[in-house]
Amino acid sequence: MIAPQTAPIPRTNNDPTGDTAPVPLNRILVALDASEHANKALDEAIRLAKSAGGEITGIHAYAAMLHDRRFKMMEGGLPERYLEEQEMGYQREVHDDLITRGLEIISDSYHDAGGAACEAAGVTFKRLSPEGKNYTKVVEATRSGDFDVLALGALGVGAVPGNIIGTVAERVVRRSPIDTFVIRDPNLSLGDGPIVVGIDGSPLSYGALMTALDLAARTGAEVRAVAAYDPYYHYVAFNKIAGVLSEEAGKVFRFKEQEALHEELIDDGIAKIYQSHLEVAETIADDLGVKITTKLLDGKPYKAILDYIDAVGASLLVVGKTGVHGDGELDIGGNAENLLRLAPCHMWLTQTTYTPPLDVVAAETVSWSVEAERKISKAPEFVRDMARRMVLRHTQKLGHTFVTSDIVDDVMGKAMPGFAGNDAAKQEELAWSEAAERLLDTVADGAVADNIRLRAIKRARRDHCATVMGKHITPFLDLADSERPNWTAAALARVAKVPEMVRASVKAGIEDLALERNLKEVSLELAEEGVAEARKAMCPVPEAPAKAVPEAPAEAKPDGLAWTAEATTRLQRIPEGFMRDMTQERVESFARKNGAETITLAMVEEKYAGWAAGSAKQRSSMACDAEAAERIRRIPDFIRPMVLLEIERCARDMGLDVISGAAIDKASEAWEGKGAFHTEGAPGRYKS
């Protein structure tokens, strides 16, 4: 658990960048209609305003003139008894009184309740009761310049089962020029779960981060920053384009070169760009003395974020109202719109901005050579701005104030192997497993099935698999109604015990087994079989029986340090040789530092978890040949990225462009007997 910060985030006055985040909470406008959602919006707004010494203004619009016009239109259709002039005159008088006074009384009652709640909390309350169409008058108030934030319910008094979002809420959110706080669940309070913030590298997304950090400080919540990208979309798009281009048109379009460039970018480059956005977010938070959790998500962005906020039980999602590709005419971004409708937690759509100091300084002090500008223009337009920021940051870290083409090549070469013009290797056709074909056959819509087919191929290639498996299709089945095996409670409970970092892939593998055997249900026995198969694939070392037994007494070693039988069994899952020996040395060193005399299974798992956290931050940019890829695949998950990074260093020292088996052998020889494989403190080790 990341400890939340305790002090609100300060705002910078007279900021030359024009930054406005975090949003001030001094003047909060709350839409009132006595619904549960509106009442919750008022409660949360009071809580935030009180923390900032701010005030609340309640707003409720009533459309008296609209009701008057409708009554006049209905006069001719009233029953016969109302058609006498005296009776009609009386009805007009009654209805006029209802419109002029009755609607005012209703509006006043909403304000009375809001005022009482604010008075009890010691917060100033003001009233707005404009006459006119509800959403129009709320939007007018947000455009007045008198308010910083609007809080409203996603649904109102007209809500019925199955409502996703009310028409008033959606119309207002689209048109509001200020930050908008939307209440999705009347039973959920800010701080009941983490605050999740979406980062895409735009000033709006960093503004969302600053606001999220400030809200977390006021509510005691932790902050989790996510960046989501879709590495499958462009692969699908290019294959669709290929189906309609003639050979001549393909040459004019330079289709193969364009496809290769995008492939190289999408496979590694976009992931690295979005990861860099998360690293900037971490730096921003660190500078404020706050620790946040970050996670890079892949898939359809809004869907990946929905899955994440559901998994972590978020209480609030904070995103920019538009994204990195938005223009001045866009009222709301596509991902923000989908999340507004589907997110189970509250949502805060920001219109406040923040520019990281590094980007400000770089933009003001660094200039580009003509050759460098020409080089960066080769990056596809949809990521060019992000790529430019990466180059600027790297240039500043090197201490330069002039970007040259070699710097562009260095930065973009790591993000996009082949950026300088190397042709990508031709990709061979992949085989399809029976389970994968059966899954795809269940998708009735041909167009959707073809989309899923291409995405599955892309996912299999990213996993370096020669065969498309069911697990490569499963993540995309939400694009269509498709039959999947049901899970018994016991089977789900068994999979829940699998370490989180591999749980999803193990579960997918078990579903593959069920599909291959044409089973409609995953039993505990099948789950156990699938877990065992996954162990063999990851660690080809015989394991002890899986049943739980109390830890046996440890056997002491000559130096006084002992290993329990369970800890030894866990260690032996690592392939025999230098890797296991090195792991044993590191675990024993960890035990001594902690004053332990006996190494238990829990201690081994704790050390592995620490390695996994550090390893997850490592990113390699060099391709592998088939032999190397297979050998690397057998390295345990929790240290694979870190080990791969070292193997890449070795390959570079050897002058190789691709990681080969020879590079792995040389690296292994250099590590033997060293007790570690890091070379930061020993540059050039692999050149000797």
Give the pLDDT confidence score for residue 609 in this predicted structure: 65
How many whole angstroms separate alpha carbon 565 and alpha carbon 555? 8
Indicate if the pLDDT at residue 329 is higher than 60.
yes
Closest CA to 283 of 386, 397, 385: 397
Question: What amino acid is encoded at 46 in this protein?
Answer: I
Tokens of 61: 């619009």
Q: What is the pLDDT of residue 547?
A: 38
- Other CB atoms within a 10 A radius of the CB of residue 662 amount to 15
200 vs 591 pLDDT, higher one: 200
Report the range of poorest mean pLDDT among 614-623, 625-634, 655-664: 614-623
d(CA 465, CA 463): 5
Classify strands 562-563 and 555-556 as parallel, antiparallel or unpaired: antiparallel
Q: Tell me the three state secondary structure of residue 227.
A: strand
- 680: Cα separation from own chain's centroid: 31
Three-class SS state of 218: helix
Question: Highest mean pLDDT: which of 85-89, 434-438, 450-454?
Answer: 434-438
Helices (H), 14-166: 36-52, 64-74, 85-97, 103-121, 134-142
**How many Å apart are CA 570 and CA 609, to the nearest integer?**
13
Yes or no: is domain 357-415 CATH 3.60.15.10?
Answer: no
CA distance 182 to 310: 17
Residues in the chain: 688
Regarding the domain delimited by 485-538, which CATH topology (the fold level of the hierarchy) does it fall under? Helicase, Ruva Protein; domain 3 (1.10.8)
pLDDT of residue 623 exceeding 70: yes
Please determine, for residue 265, whether its predicted confidence score (pLDDT) is greater than 70: no
State whether residue 643 is helix, strand or coil.
Answer: helix
Half-sphere exposure of 443 (CA within 13 A, CB side): 20
- pLDDT exceeds cutoff 60 at 77: no
- Report d(CA 637, CA 417) in Å as an integer: 24
Query: Tokens 């440890």 appear where?
Result: 554
Fold classification of 27-179 is Rossmann fold (3.40.50)
H or E element at residue 57 = strand 55-59
What's the one-letter identity of residue 483?
E
Whole-number Å distance between alpha carbons of 125 and 54: 10
492 is written with which tokens? 């789900």
Tell me the pLDDT band of 409, cut-offs 50, 70 and 90. Answer: confident
- What's the pLDDT score for residue 501? 53
Q: Between 1.10.1740.10, 1.10.8.550, 2.40.30.10, 3.40.50.300, what CATH number should domain 428-481 receive?
A: 1.10.8.550
- pLDDT 10s digits, 180-192: 999 999 999 999 9
Calpha distance 4→316 (Å, rounded): 15
Across 166-186, average pLDDT: 94
Listed ranges 49-58, 155-164, 363-372, 584-593; the one with the highest mean pLDDT = 49-58
Q: What is the CATH number of domain 195-231+269-350?
A: 3.40.50.620
List Cβ neighbours of 477 (8 Å cut-off, separation of 6 or more).
439, 443, 452, 484
Does the fold of domain 555-615 match that of domain 195-231+269-350? no
C-alpha–C-alpha distance, residues 652 and 332, integer Å? 46
pLDDT at residue 586 is higher than 80: no
- Given a cut of 50, is residue 426 above it in pLDDT? no
> How far, in Å, are 173, 231, 424, 436 from residue 459 at the CA level?
36, 9, 18, 13
The neighbouring-strand residues paired with 56 are 28, 125
Local confidence band at 93 (pLDDT 50, 70, 90 cut-offs): low
Whether the predicted pLDDT of 3 surpasses 50: no
- In this model, does residue 558 exceed pLDDT 50? no
Q: What would the mean pLDDT of 31-48 be, rounded to a whole number?
A: 94
Percent of the chain with pLDDT over 70: 66
Q: How confident is the model at residue 256 (pLDDT cuts 50, 70, 90)?
A: low
**Residue-level pLDDT at 470:** 82
Eight-state DSSP code of residue 185? -
Of 248 and 666, more confident: 666
pLDDT of residue 113: 93
pLDDT bucket at 655, cuts 50 / 70 / 90: confident
Structure tokens at 543: 């394991």
What pLDDT band is residue 424 in, cutting at 50, 70 and 90? very low
Which of these ranges, 3-7, 98-102, 319-323, 352-356, has the smallest mean pLDDT? 3-7
Higher pLDDT, 204 or 82: 204
Indicate whether 350 pLDDT > 60: yes
Higher pLDDT, 593 or 546: 593
Listed ranges 204-208, 287-291, 506-510, 650-654; the one with the highest mean pLDDT: 204-208
Contact 559, 549 (CB under 8 A): no
Of residues 226 and 66, the one with the higher pLDDT is 226
Concatenating the DSSP letter of every residue in 624-669 gives B-HHHHHHHHTS-GGGHHHHHHHHHHHHHHTT-SSB-HHHHHHHHH
Q: Which fold has domain 555-615?
A: Helicase, Ruva Protein; domain 3 (1.10.8)
What pLDDT is attached to residue 392? 79
Q: Say which residue, 335 or 505, is predicted with more confidence.
A: 335
What average pLDDT does the structure give for the chain?
76
Beta-sheet strands, E only, within 258-395: 293-298, 316-320, 346-350, 367-368
Whether the predicted pLDDT of 171 surpasses 50: yes
User: How far is Cα 483 from Cα 475, in angstroms, rounded to an integer?
Assistant: 13
Alpha helix (H) ranges present in 227-300?
233-242, 247-253, 255-264, 270-287
How many other C-beta atoms can be found within 10 angstroms of the C-beta atom of residue 518?
Answer: 10
Q: What is the pLDDT of residue 115?
A: 95
Q: How confident is the model at residue 621 (pLDDT cuts 50, 70, 90)?
A: low
pTM reported for the whole predicted model: 0.56
CA distances from 116 to 45, 113, 124, 450 (A): 14, 5, 10, 59
pLDDT for 397 beyond 50: yes
Boundaries of every domain in the chain? 27-179, 195-231+269-350, 357-415, 428-481, 485-538, 555-615, 626-687
